[in-house]
Amino acid sequence: METRNVEISALRTLRGGFLYLLVAVIVGIVAAFAGLFSFIVAIGSMSMPPHSPFAGVIGAVAILLVLLLVAVGIVLYAVFGKIRPGMRRLSEVDNGFRISYTGTTLMLVGLVIMVLGLIVLVAAFAAVSFSPMRGSVLGGLILALGVLLIGGIIAIIGNILTFVVGAFKLYSRYQNSLYMAAGILFIIDIALILVGFSGILSLVGYILMYIALGDTINKLSTAAATPAQA
């Protein structure tokens, strides 16, 4: 019974993570439309004195950045505050899920490396104004891009282990075809992102995962309650 309670708790934590991911996607969509609308309004008001020609554009960019930061914050909480601990607890029930927990670790490592790469990149651009040695500046830029590339690759591998492998592991254990469908959508979406297209299929995948996890939780809860009622 204790193992079943741990399993249900882990699945509920995972489900909460996918709910937060859905919220983050919605916030991101709102950010895109709000930023576009604000930008159009700002452009239209440029010809109307006494408006500053750049104040409206700056405001539009500020709105977009704030909403995007909110979306990024929600994603980070969803992955590292919900999905990561959910996979960790689920691996206590089925050791096969440890690979997905490792995936969240790789995502974290990749993110940290990419942040370091951005710091190096900013430092390299700042050095352009102060250093007469163009070779050292170019070397700094190449180093920063290399660090960003390595961090991005590690993060993508972590993403695959967490979401794609995780979805297939859930399907293998609970035999709900929605997990399989979500995993396939995650694969297609990653491929689309790699070739430069915005991946919207993950949104559908998150919805399928949320629904499937809810169904699995209900079945496990019913099965756990049945012996007590007997």
Nearest in space to 147 (alpha carbons), one of 180, 191, 171, 115: 115
CA 184/CA 142 separation, integer angstroms: 35
Q: Count of H helices and E strands in the chain?
A: 8, 0
Which amino acid makes up residue 169?
K
For 195, which DSSP code?
A: T
pLDDT of 229 > 50? The answer is no
What's the domain range around 69?
A: 2-229
pTM of the model: 0.83
pLDDT of 226 > 80? The answer is no
Cβ-contact 162, 206 below 8 angstroms: no
Nearest in space to 153 (alpha carbons), one of 110, 194, 115, 188: 110
Helix axes of 166-174 and 98-128: crossing angle, nearest 10 degrees: 170
pLDDT of 134 > 90? The answer is no
Select, from the ranges 40-44, 98-102, 201-205, the one with the highest average predicted confidence (pLDDT). Answer: 98-102
Total structural domains in the chain?
1
Q: Report pLDDT digits (tens) over 139-165.
A: 777 888 899 999 999 999 999 999 999
14 CB neighbour count, 10 Å cutoff: 27
